[in-house]
Structure 1
Amino acid sequence: MLNIRAFRLLVKLLETSGSVYLKDLSEEFNVSTRMIKYDLEDVKGWLNTREIELFSQSNKGIWIDCSEEKRLAIIHTLPEIERNDVYLNQEARVGKMILYMLVNTDYITASTFSERLDVSRNTSLNDIKQIDELLQPWKIELERKHGTGYKLIGDELSLRLLFEHLIHADLTNNEIYKIMSGVTCRDLLIEGPMLFADILPLYKVVEKQMARLFASQPKHVLHESDVLRILFRMTISITRMNAGFTMKDYRIIKKADYPNLTVQLMEKVYEQMQYPLFEEEYRYITGDRDNALNQIDIVKVTKEIIQYVSDIQGIHYHKDPKLYNNLFAHLSLRFQKGEINFTEINPFTKELKKNYSVLFSTIRKACQIYLAPLKISVPDSFISLIVLHFIVSFEKKFNQKGKIRTLYVCSTGRGVARLIKNRVEREIYDIEIVKNCSIMEVDEICIQQKVDLIISVFPIETDLPLVIVDPLPSKRDIETIKRKVQELLRYKNFQFNNLLESTEETIGSQDTEFISQEIILKGFEINQEIQLAFTDEIGATKKQALMLHIFLMVHRFYFDKQYDNYSSSSNHSYDKEDIQKIKEILDVHDLQTHKAEIIAILHYLK
């Protein structure tokens, strides 16, 4: 078994094409060289069991000697290695503790946790203190009973959504492939997914029945995300029913009313488990219970998330209309599926959490504030997709001038300049050393290269920001440069925010793609708000016609045209409150239309 640091050392060595020095590893992991040596002994032992050698040489460094094919094979299985051959960190242990409580009826003691996780009782007690923080967004409480143990208390749907979230948080792309292969019988020899041990037998029951059903159905009868949702939710449903918990309604489903694949699958599985087929369990598995999502004000939620991130980050994201449009469209598509828990797996999640940790944490907090109260789970895979929208906005709108353009000044303009350039750019992402020169060339090159910052080995007179460093920059020098770069970036953002405020009104006239996107999204927003405001008055057959009319209305407005059918207003009388309600919705979206347009919309009401 490896500890977390030893595992990361293994990853570093596997992903490094050449050798790496002990001192560099010590600096990177912020521990002594002695600690690195201890961890390397564990890594060496782990590699030896796989007939791979770890070499070290004082003037060359440390490296792994194996074929490229074998190296890639191990890299491909790193998630499984981390899960099986690495001591669990606190976050992983806390997740396991919650899962134990979700599958059991009785209270669980700290001693039981320590036995199951192979840690001391004190470690378990420290881990338990962290559970409350993880449960908070789900509106679930950890009940403590002295001398008896711990138990989760909360709404059954919330508990099941947390259950599903923990499963998805631990899922890898490789395991998704295994799941789909098992269900479709694509590869009968492939080993199954590494799921939580307590639910694996029940999962296998569902998987086996689904595979049989798929064998008799045409290919692509279900989307991958639907397969994952049905598999996991059906497994969770049986697990919770085993523990004595249901969705609180015991009405038996009428199979004739639901002639679909899910009911057929449930019938087989529940019959095997000797459980009745409850309608509420069907609604949970299919997501029908999540229809409340259709009532969410997506416009409001989108604006709230963007405004929150803008305030915390100090960047005017709320001034970027394309970010709003793209994020609104993204959330609309997700919520219109009628699902509370999102099953997509984002392969960039870990990289985004590492490279954009502050932005990721800020967006996670925003989602917990504005989505979690609506009983919408926000797994990291879902958050990372939102993070990508903000990154695109920053790169295209708020970081248009690129990195901080830097001039490196040394005594001759040559010497160790290339070494300095490589080291500084490797350690500071937002910097670009555009030139190195001698003191005689500074003024001329600053003008030619439009330099933002000067790094110099000796004091010079200049009006530009200046950082003086040792001939071979020390760690302290690197930190000084980093602070100066961050300061300059903040100033650039302030300049660009002011520029954006003065030019944002003209953006639409310069970008036809943006105009068409604006029309579509504004039409969608208005249609959603009107249909919500008149839910009972709009017949099902007229909803699509109303949506088309509203889209054409928005299109007319953008091209300075108005609805010209005035004759309708004289033949009918309409409720003034209804007219005012529609007018207010249009006013919110800065859509000024005459009364005939509003009367035309009222035609679609019952």
Structure 2
Amino acid sequence: MALSTRSRIHLKKMLLEQAPLRIKELSEQFNVSDRTIKYDLETIRVWLQEQDVFMCSNPSKGIWIDCDESERTMLLGMLEDSGSHVFVNQHERARGIILDLLLSDKHITIGEMVKKNDVSRNTILSDLAIAEAFFKEWELLLERSRFGIQLIGTEKQRRTVLENIIHDLLDSNDMLQIVQGVAQEHKPTLHFNKVLERFLEPVNDLDFLFEALSRIVRNTESEVGVMLSDRVIIGVFIRLCIAIQRHHQDEHIENEDRTKEGVSEHSLNIFYVFQRVLAQLAEMESITLTDNAVWFISLQAIGMAAPFPYQINKGESLPDVYTITHGIIRHVTDQMRFPFLDDPELLNNLLAHMSDKMTKYSYGVMEPNPLLKEIMQSYRTMFDYVQKACLEVLGSLGVHLTDSDIAFLVLHFQTAYERKAEQQRWKALIVCGTGRGTSKWLMTIIENEIKHLQFVASCSVMDVEKVLEKVQVDLVISILPIKANVPVVVVHSIPCKHDFQAIQTQLNQLGSSKVRSTSNGGGLRRPEMLAHNAGQLENMVQDIIYTGYDLSREIIAHFREYLSDERAEGLTLHLLFMVNRIHFGTAYMQYGEPPLLGSTALALKEELQHVLQRKNLEVTEGELHAILRYFEPVNKGE
């Protein structure tokens, strides 16, 4: 029996986590029914029996695999091997062909592909069409000749695409194993991704390689004062794999477009740590890692530990970050018809993220995202919206974000969406054939799926007009087509995924038009409830607005040379909201390590503090850094 892609993911999760899993967890993760998961688990059970391993289940505990460590390691290896025991779908097969073409500097024949993948010639031709479309996006070409098929492109292009492919191949468990291996200073004993092993074939002692990376982490912290995060460690490891593999193919890393001249002392100190440790690794393994190769590897750490985005003395010219951030939000707003543009917190958080992202992009840094697959499964619709917005806004600028990058942006939008949804309770009327029987069941099912929807009444088709005269609702949900003076969504008697999507789409449209029911338990108070202190409230609001406006004029005038017109407009709005946050004690706080500031950024921060002190405003570090994000880099790499 062969395992499908989803079944292999289930089994890998059970083997690595070792703790019992529940069917509900898996169905929610993959957005499928419990019945589908039960079918997958039955396939896994039969497959395991063929390997003399048994799957156990208990209603109170869940499902788990009964095996020892050696069997666990053997099963994990089988899941990554191709063969009759696994079913490889077209996406996986095409990805394997893409990887083969990237790693080979020679021609590969279609016959060789047919033999390796054990499929027909027509199937391989179909897979090659997918591979060719993928390479075209990265400006690489497939050259066909009588010798076979060969990939044509620069070494830099190959490295970039290889890095992207590896990020796509690794899941959160694979990335965790890398970090654990570095922390424990030896190759992971339970599981190590076979694709990475393929890259590291020239290395005889993988334990020494992990120990070397561990020394880089320790020395970077002790000598430079920079603690490399898990994501940096994963990124460095991936680049080291690529550098070693390309050396083995006699393809040394070509000279970078930019030299190390003019690089900050901070960045060079990180490079020297890498250079010293990797020289020992190269000598031990009898391989050559040139300075350019070390620079390529260390850039992952240099870029992620780069100073706050000012005084970027090297790197590609950066587009205006405020403009592209606002553009992405506007495009997602237009697609979803949801008021993201009205959320200043989303703008501030996304601006901070995009400022860092564009700085790293200028260094050629790709960020690993251990949660990529989980985000794509849980928030697929939001992912598609954000991906399309990024293509629209960044495509014309020649900026290509990976799926990992987009997944990080999705979290910002999803958080803003859920935050807004929690503030809104939409009132709905449920309409059934008789108004009895299934109405209560339908209300329970839909309210459980869409948390910010509240049913206030139910009725039959015949009583709709009569009920709407007495009850104010935002929309009607009916199992039969009807007419009403509010939006109507027609659903099946047993709601399906498409029904929930239709309801959510209608709620998004209501949100964009700002038609909203205010529930009794929350929201803004009615004007008559504020009548007794209306004068006091008006004075307070006027004071906040005046303070914010006066502060914005002062700051914009003082820092005019660092602000475009569009950024100045955005900063004005930001400062108005900031004064409001300070007044109500909800100012932004600085969590975790503060961003590294270059000399220019430190000077700007000091000037900003003086301006705020003159205005008698005490501002948190989080608010200071939020304001600094609006200032354009002094040097755009021109």
- TM norm structure 2: 0.64
Q: Counterpart in 1 of 2:390?
A: 367
C-alpha deviation, 1:474, in angstroms:
5.5
2:252 matched to 1:246? Answer: yes
Distance 2:114 2:415 in 1: 45
Distance 1:163 1:277 in 2: 18
Q: What are the superposed Cα offsets for residues 470-516 of structure 1, whole Å, 9 maximum, x if unpaired?
A: 8xx1579x96786466345424422369xxxxxxxx99957999999
Q: Which moved more, 1:388-397 or 1:91-100?
A: 388-397
Distance 2:150 2:556 in 1: 46
Distance 2:560 2:88 in 1: 46
2:149 match: secondary structure: strand
Q: Counterpart in 2 of 1:569?
A: none
Kindly tell me: are residues 432 and 263 of structure 1, through their superposed partners in 2, closer, same or farther at Cα, counting changes over 3 Å? Answer: same
Q: Counterpart in 1 of 2:149?
A: 150
Residue 281 of structure 1, aligned match among 272, 287, 293: 293
Contact 1:353 1:360 in 2 (8 A): yes
Q: Counterpart in 2 of 1:387?
A: 410
- TM norm structure 1: 0.67
1:235-384 aligned within 5 A: 235-249=241-255, 260-287=272-299, 291-292=314-315, 295-336=318-359, 339-347=363-371, 349-368=372-391, 371=394, 378-384=401-407
Q: What are the superposed Cα offsets for residues 140-198 of structure 1, whole Å, 9 maximum, x if unpaired?
A: x2222232222222232232121112112222332233222322326777224213152
2:194 match: secondary structure: coil
Q: Counterpart in 2 of 1:195?
A: 194
2:569 matched to 1:547? Answer: no
Q: How many residue pairs were aligned? A: 521
Residue 547 of structure 1 aligns with an amino acid whose one-letter code is L
Q: CA RMSD in A?
A: 5.5
Distance 1:317 1:416 in 2: 36
Where in structure 2 are there 5+ consecutive unaligned residues?
Answer: 15-19, 262-267, 304-313, 517-540, 566-596, 618-629
Residue 343 of structure 1 aligns with an amino acid whose one-letter code is E
Residue 246 of structure 2 aligns with an amino acid whose one-letter code is R
Residue 68 of structure 1, aligned match among 53, 61, 65: 61
Contact 2:185 2:211 in 1 (8 A): no
Q: Could you say which structure has the greater relative contact order, defined with CA pairs below 8 angstroms and 6 or more residues apart?
A: 2
2:453 matched to 1:453? Answer: no
Residue 47 of structure 2 aligns with an amino acid whose one-letter code is W
Contact 2:212 2:278 in 1 (8 A): no
Residue 229 of structure 1 aligns with an amino acid whose one-letter code is G
C-alpha deviation, 1:299, in angstroms:
2.4
Contact 1:138 1:375 in 2 (8 A): no
Distance 1:277 1:233 in 2: 12
Amino-acid identity (%): 22
Kindly tell me: are residues 73 and 260 of structure 1, through their superposed partners in 2, closer, same or farther at Cα, counting changes over 3 Å? Answer: farther
Contact 1:247 1:281 in 2 (8 A): yes
2:514 match: secondary structure: helix
Q: Counterpart in 2 of 1:45?
A: 46
Distance 1:179 1:511 in 2: 54
Q: Counterpart in 2 of 1:584?
A: none
Q: Counterpart in 2 of 1:87?
A: 87
Distance 2:79 2:143 in 1: 32
Distance 1:177 1:161 in 2: 22
Residue 512 of structure 2, aligned match among 474, 486, 493: 493
Contact 1:410 1:439 in 2 (8 A): yes
Distance 2:61 2:557 in 1: 53
Kindly tell me: are residues 489 and 516 of structure 1, through their superposed partners in 2, closer, same or farther at Cα, counting changes over 3 Å? Answer: same
Distance 1:459 1:9 in 2: 41
Distance 1:457 1:316 in 2: 29
Kindly tell me: are residues 508 and 91 of structure 1, through their superposed partners in 2, closer, same or farther at Cα, counting changes over 3 Å? Answer: farther
Distance 1:398 1:241 in 2: 52
C-alpha deviation, 1:89, in angstroms:
2.0
Contact 1:411 1:457 in 2 (8 A): no
2:198 matched to 1:179? Answer: no
Distance 2:456 2:513 in 1: 24
Q: Counterpart in 2 of 1:99?
A: 99
1:305 match: secondary structure: helix
Q: Counterpart in 2 of 1:233?
A: 239
Q: Which moved more, 1:127-136 or 1:280-289?
A: 280-289
Distance 1:172 1:2 in 2: 18
C-alpha deviation, 1:330, in angstroms:
0.9
Residue 551 of structure 1 aligns with an amino acid whose one-letter code is L
Kindly tell me: are residues 517 and 266 of structure 1, through their superposed partners in 2, closer, same or farther at Cα, counting changes over 3 Å? Answer: farther
Kindly tell me: are residues 8 and 184 of structure 1, through their superposed partners in 2, closer, same or farther at Cα, counting changes over 3 Å? Answer: closer
1:97-136 aligned within 5 A: 97-136=97-136
